[in-house]
């Protein structure tokens, strides 16, 4: 399962990066999806071939970090080193750089740079990937108790 997650993340990042060069129907779909998950502000986004990517620099960093994190968790030795830490600790440590850049930007102390936003996002994406990789093996849907059907409170009708 982690290999499938890693492959999916790599494909997603590749599609985001290649969106400006893809055929219009595919690129249009990626930009529409990007508009649902990101503000897509041009000044906060990377550009390829003078065309803005579908997500901002921070989001691109988060997705790239998730792909790298998922690839790293395929290694048993790295998993063993990371898994002694609690998921909360991993998320806090991974989110600190992003939180710091947000606080500095919102306070007006720093104008921000896309490469710094992306680098901060990489740590958050990798931390989320580590936590998700740790959680996936604990999902056992086959062992869940089936729910009883709930009776409708509407009166019975033939049609």
Residue 10 lies in a domain: yes
**Would you write out the chain's pLDDT as a tens digit for each of its 159 residues?**
778 999 999 999 999 999 999 999 999 999 999 999 999 999 999 999 899 999 999 999 999 999 999 999 888 777 778 778 889 999 999 999 999 999 999 999 998 899 999 999 999 999 999 999 888 877 776 666 666 666 666 666 666
Q: Is 68 left (phi over 0), alpha (psi -120 to 50) or beta?
A: alpha
Residue 152 lies in a domain: no
* Alpha-carbon distance values, 84 to 14, 87, 134 (Å): 31, 9, 11
Q: Is the pTM of this model over 0.85?
A: no
Residue 141 lies in a domain: no
Residue 124 lies in a domain: yes
Residue 93 lies in a domain: yes
- For residue 13, give its domain range: 2-135
Could you give the number of structural domains in the chain?
1
Residue 157 lies in a domain: no
Residue 21 lies in a domain: yes
Which string of DSSP letters, residue by residue, matches 136-151? GGG--GGGSPPPPPPP
């Amino acid at each position: 399962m982690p290999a499938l997650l890693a492959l999916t993340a790599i494909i997603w990042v590749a599609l985001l990066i290649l969106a400006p060069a893809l055929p219009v129907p595919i690129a249009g779909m990626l930009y529409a999806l990007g508009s649902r998950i990101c503000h897509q502000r041009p000044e906060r986004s990377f550009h390829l071939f003078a065309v803005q990517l579908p997500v901002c620099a921070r989001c691109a960093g988060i997705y790239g970090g998730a792909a790298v994190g998922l690839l790293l968790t395929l290694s048993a030795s790295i998993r063993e080193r990371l898994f002694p830490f609690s998921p909360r600790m991993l998320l806090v440590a991974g989110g600190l750089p992003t939180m710091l850049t947000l606080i500095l930007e919102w306070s007006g102390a720093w104008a921000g740079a896309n490469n710094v936003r992306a680098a901060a996002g990489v740590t958050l994406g990798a931390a989320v990937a580590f936590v998700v990789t740790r959680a996936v093996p604990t999902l056992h849907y086959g062992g869940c108790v089936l729910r009883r059907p709930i009776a409708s409170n509407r009166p019975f009708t033939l049609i």
